[in-house]
Amino acid sequence: DEELRAWESEAARCALSRRFHHILVDEFQDTNATQYELVKLLAPVDSLQKGRRSLFLVGDPDQAIYGWRGAIPEQLGERLRTDYPDLKVLTLRDNYRSSSTILAAARAVLGPQSRRLRPMLPHGPALRLHSVLGPTEEGELVARQIRRLQARHGVPLSEVAVLVRTHAQTRAIEEALEPPQSPPSTPTCNRPLPTSGPAPHPLHRPGRTHLLAAQGGAGRAGVPAPGAGAVGRRGPAPHHQRAQARAGPRDPGQAGGRR
């Protein structure tokens, strides 16, 4: 793997070790073997024991859904405790996001080995399961529900929001709503960079840009300097541009989208 081969350079390892002192990894249950090795190289156990680095991992084995693309949820368990013997585990059991109805349904799917969370929200309405054959049928189902809200309850479109797991799912819904309805808005979340204090630096495309920069590759064509383009400042693209982007070739490194 290109990222791990770059670590064979002692200069690259030293440069990145000096640059990053506090490592945070979210959704750790979805990391693959290469990403796990990168974490170990960025935060070697001896540097943690000497107080020169800190490592904070967040993960939940019950939310592991990317085994089909190489994720190894077991890395969150015994292997992690073996590699980092001084690891402190904080277990969160109170759930403030979902009602007891949703948690009960989740336990029924996950089985008896799943973690039992305490619901902190009141009992919610019964769940309804809709089976569809694909994205087009799913979009049509959502569109029918929206039109039903309009016809029966007079709910304006400005009061309707559709939550999806990945941005790619919005296309079928947009097509099902057009042209009978006004074009839906699919905003993206672009948070501005902090105006004061140190800003967190995301390691996108696991460390590729920073590894190339550490080896002297920053600034050449296609390789931004560390920090360049890490966080987008622009708002959502116009609708026709989004459609063109979706019609283009898919990046194999982004299969399934990001959560």
Could you tell me the domains of the chain? 130-188 (3.40.50.300)
Handedness of CA 25, 29, 30, 36 (dihedral sign): positive
Average pLDDT rounded to a whole number, residues 228-247: 38
CA distance 29 to 76: 6
Higher pLDDT, 15 or 98: 98
- Encoding tokens for residue 95? 């759930």
Among 21-25, 53-57, 140-144, 200-204, the range scoring the smallest mean pLDDT is 200-204
Higher pLDDT, 203 or 44: 44
Contacts of 167 (CB under 8 A, 6+ apart): 186, 188, 257
Higher pLDDT, 34 or 198: 34
* The model's pTM: 0.62
CA distance 93 to 115: 8
Q: Is the distance from CB of 39 to CB of 25 less than 8 angstroms?
A: yes
Q: Is the distance from CB of 241 to CB of 38 less than 8 angstroms?
A: no
How much is the pLDDT for 198? 53
Question: Per-residue confidence at 75, pLDDT binned at 50, 70, 90?
Answer: very high
Q: How many CB atoms lie within 10 A of CB 130?
A: 9
- What's the N-to-C CA distance of the chain in angstroms? 24
- pLDDT tens digits, one per residue of 79-95: 999 999 999 999 999 99
Among residues 54, 53, 55, 57, the alpha carbon closest in space to that of 26 is found at: 57
Amino acid found at 119: P
Question: Per-residue confidence at 71, pLDDT binned at 50, 70, 90?
Answer: very high
Average pLDDT rounded to a whole number, residues 34-51: 88
Q: How many CB atoms lie within 10 A of CB 122?
A: 8
